[in-house]
Amino acid sequence: GESVGLHLPTLSVQEGDNSIINCAYSNSASDYFIWYKQESGKGPQFIIDIRSNMDKRQGQRVTVLLNKTVKHLSLQIAATQPGDSAVYFCAENSMEYGNKLVFGAGTILRVKS
Amino acid sequence: DSGVTQTPKHLITATGQRVTLRCSPRSGDLSVYWYQQSLDQGLQFLIHYYNGEERAKGNILERFSAQQFPDLHSELNLSSLELGDSALYFCASSVGAMSSYEQYFGPGTRLTVT
């Protein structure tokens, strides 16, 4: 069925440490993946995306890794800051889903100062 | 600020009523997507319009309908409201017709059905 990271875990990290948020996706045919950040009371905000022909993509302080063998996606945040505290969602796209994004349940990131 | 606007920000209404949520996409974006976010269901795709035409449907109830107008703004109509329809409703926009483009989300409309 359509499922991406159904659980909603919480990750607590110390300010300045690196954070790694994981996501398991279910559709091996998915060809596009996105990470979104959602702060309380706001809409999801695009962080970074990656296509299935890549294994790694870097942005500003963020890196997304894609392991298609085990259908796993991760988001690494370097030098985590209090402003990074939010819920992080991964999403996948596949034509099998009918040209739509399927979102995971999300991971709560709490940054301790 | 994503450039996507949604009105109203909050809406409180009674069961059985009908409401209309409005979305204006970013300048230049032709696609509009609607999502529902509830505590028990997460972020669920409802429907996608591209340049006025429906492109994809998700878990949208028959009581719900949407349209995209020539000026590209979109409206989501929710009728015969039930308590379970209480949720955050987000609109997102993107430049292309395929969902494999970066989508920019609006601030959402919080609907409370009493």
Task: Please list, residue by residue across B70-108, b when 16 or more beta carbons sit within 10 angstroms of its beta carbon and e when fewer do.
Answer: eebebbbebeebeeebbbbbbbbbbeebbbbbebbbbbb
Q: What is the mean pLDDT of chain A?
A: 90
pLDDT of residue A6: 42
In this predicted model, what pLDDT tens digit does every residue of B27-37 receive, in sequence order?
999 999 999 99
pLDDT-derived band of residue A3, with 50, 70 and 90 as boundaries? Answer: very low
- Nearest Cβ partner for B102 among A49, A99, A104: A49
- Residues A6-28 have a mean pLDDT of 90
Cα separation, B80 vs B33, whole angstroms:
22
How far is the alpha carbon of B54 from chain A, nearest alpha carbon, in Å? 12
In this predicted model, what pLDDT tens digit does every residue of A19-43 receive, in sequence order?
999 999 988 999 999 999 999 989 9
Q: Which of B64, B65, B33, B71 is nearest to B49 (CA)?
A: B33
Does A2 score more than 50 pLDDT? no
Of all residues in chain B, the percent with pLDDT exceeding 90 is 83
pLDDT of residue B40: 73
Interchain CB distance below 8 Å, B100 and A102: no
Cα separation, A19 vs A39, whole angstroms:
17
Using a CB-CB cut-off of 8 Å, the residues of chain A touching B102 are 34, 46, 49
Interchain CB distance below 8 Å, A98 and B57: yes
- Residues A60-74 have a mean pLDDT of 96
Does A105 score more than 80 pLDDT? yes
- Nearest Cβ partner for A99 among B42, B98, B104: B98
Specify whether the backbone of B36 is left (phi greater than 0), alpha (psi in -120 to 50) or beta: beta
Q: How many residues comprise chain B?
A: 114
pLDDT of residue A101: 87
Instruction: Compute how many other C-beta atoms are within 10 angstroms of the C-beta atom of residue B23.
Output: 26
